[in-house]
Amino acid sequence: MNAGRTARERARAELTREITEVARRQLGTEGAGGLNLRAIARELGMVSSAIYRYFPSRDDLLTALIIDAYNAVGEAVERADAAREPDDHAGRWRAVCHAVRDWALAHPHEYALIYGSPVPGYHAPADTVAPAMRDTVVYGRILASAHAAGALTPPDGFPAPPASFSGDAEAVRQVMPGLPDDLVARAIAAWTGLFGFVSFELFGQFANVVDDRAALFAHTVDTLGRLVGLPAAATG
Amino acid sequence: MNAGRTARERARAELTREITEVARRQLGTEGAGGLNLRAIARELGMVSSAIYRYFPSRDDLLTALIIDAYNAVGEAVERADAAREPDDHAGRWRAVCHAVRDWALAHPHEYALIYGSPVPGYHAPADTVAPAMRDTVVYGRILASAHAAGALTPPDGFPAPPASFSGDAEAVRQVMPGLPDDLVARAIAAWTGLFGFVSFELFGQFANVVDDRAALFAHTVDTLGRLVGLPAAATG
DNA sequence: ACCGAACCGAGAGCACTGCTCTTGACACTC
DNA sequence: GAGTGTCAAGAGCAGTGCTCTCGGTTCGGT
């Protein structure tokens, strides 16, 4: 997309990219909130006010980083999913979950930026919602395809969702078409459970409690997958 | 604990309390990171440097607030648990989960402070670990007592945790004695799932997706409770 | 080829932050 | 009552996000 246009525009695009790059590195060492326009400018050998030619405010820079982060985790998830055989639904689920955790462990501050507490005073603009959905879409696709293939055999003995849930279930079915209400509810529980685990691990809630987090995570993923009806013991 | 001592010491304790109180209110409107020593001083009619007589740094004030928040949620959970009949394990589980969510919804910024992304540059001192355990201890006590009463009938068809998990399970059994490894693993999944749900709800991940969050939460709590073996349909 | 307009970086400056240091007044202890 | 430790106040430092103005460069239309 960078091909044509004037020299000025190419320089602008290049500098914009450099700014976000330095900002992302600064985010990696300092965390959000420690994001420092003047330090970015210093590292780029320019003056702080020049940054404002490219980002009208600190929040706009943050928004760019948030979108990047959503896209990064979304891409990681998509790649992990694509690497599996399409009808290996349990394998895809497992791969996707581990992709989320691996990405989070590799980019803790970016994970915190999108799945941690919202930055004070910052309110996400509409541009973020599409990238924010990428991983969820993949997740829904896996379950929908598993359900369509008749590969979901959810364990019973679990309560049914209340009738009032059917409206929300219908909305969620946009990303996982065909699933009945009770499986939609379980899918949400599994999805939030996944991120709950990763957040606990990343934010230090497991300190001095769980040591072999990788093993427990793998087992938790299997348990949550089983909850939505994926087959229990596959090869991996 | 405030009874004796000199007037000076009482004044000091009083002012310390007032500072944390104003800080907590400021936290509620601005969120952490927006916590502003000068504004606190202004509201108290004193000069900013005077604050440093009571808290050596902004981080120490934050630590006090974190401890307060852990204690607040811990107390809410303890109260919810105590209000139920001791052998109504499903009811206690449900009450505890709803207490967590209710408290979080009532104090979103304080929840974010302790269960959201860690504050940049801040590292929790040891004083925080005991208050941080209060809710977990209650949770473990419920499951342990349910297990001891033979009230846990976990659904089967779920995978067993790997043998390597037994070490961690032994450690976790300090707060839920008697539970077998597989139930310890499921208990952690349920606990992280609970906070994953609350975090998703509070941090905006459910926006435009789930509408009737209270209903879905109640059902998720029942589902997670069933996962660890609590009876499915009780009166509530 | 030129010329006005748009864009650019530099720099000064504003209001604000956390934090430090010094000063003079007060309260408590002996 | 003298001496000592504690206190709030104030000035000040280094740093922040952001605004505005200033010359220089580049672009697009004529």
Place of tokens 């982060």: A69
Dihedral (CA of A236, B192, A131, A39) sign: negative
pLDDT tens by residue, B10-53 = 888 889 999 999 999 988 888 888 889 999 999 999 999 999 99
Domain positions in chain A are 1-55, 67-227
B196 contact residues in A (CB cutoff 8 A): 192-197, 199
CATH topology of domain B59-227: Tetracycline Repressor; domain 2 (1.10.357)
CATH class of A1-55: mainly alpha
Q: Which helix (H) or strand (E) holds B90?
A: helix B89-106
Report ipTM for this prediction. Answer: 0.92
Close Cβ partners of A190 (under 8 Å, ≥ 6 residues apart): A224, A225, A227, A228
**What pLDDT is attached to residue A122?**
67
Three-class DSSP labels, A143-184: HHHHHHCCCCCCCCCCCCCCHHHHHHHHHHCCCCCCCCHHHH
Is residue B203 pLDDT above 80, yes or no?
yes
Say yes or no: A74 contacts chain B, CB-CB below 8 A: no
pLDDT tens by residue, B60-96 = 999 999 999 999 999 999 999 999 999 999 999 999 9
Please give the CATH number for the structural domain made up of B1-56. Answer: 1.10.10
CATH H-level superfamily of A67-227:
Tetracycline Repressor, domain 2 (1.10.357.10)
Say yes or no: A51 contacts chain B, CB-CB below 8 A: no
Q: Can you tell me the distance from the alpha carbon of B218 to that of B68, in angstroms, rounded to the nearest whole number?
A: 27
Which among A35, A219, A221 is the top mutation candidate for probing chain B, defined by the most B β-carbons within 10 Å of its own β-carbon?
A219
Q: Can you tell me the distance from the alpha carbon of B169 to that of A205, in angstroms, rounded to the nearest whole number?
A: 16
Is residue B121 pLDDT above 90, yes or no?
no
Which among B35, B223, B224, B228 is the top mutation candidate for probing chain A, defined by the most A β-carbons within 10 Å of its own β-carbon?
B223
Q: Are A148 and B236 in contact (CB under 8 A)?
A: no
CB pairs < 8 Å spanning A and B: 198
Say yes or no: A228 contacts chain B, CB-CB below 8 A: no
Q: Can you tell me the distance from the alpha carbon of B171 to that of B60, in angstroms, rounded to the nearest whole number?
A: 30
Place of tokens 């007592």: B145
pLDDT tens by residue, A152-189 = 999 999 999 999 999 999 999 999 999 999 999 999 99
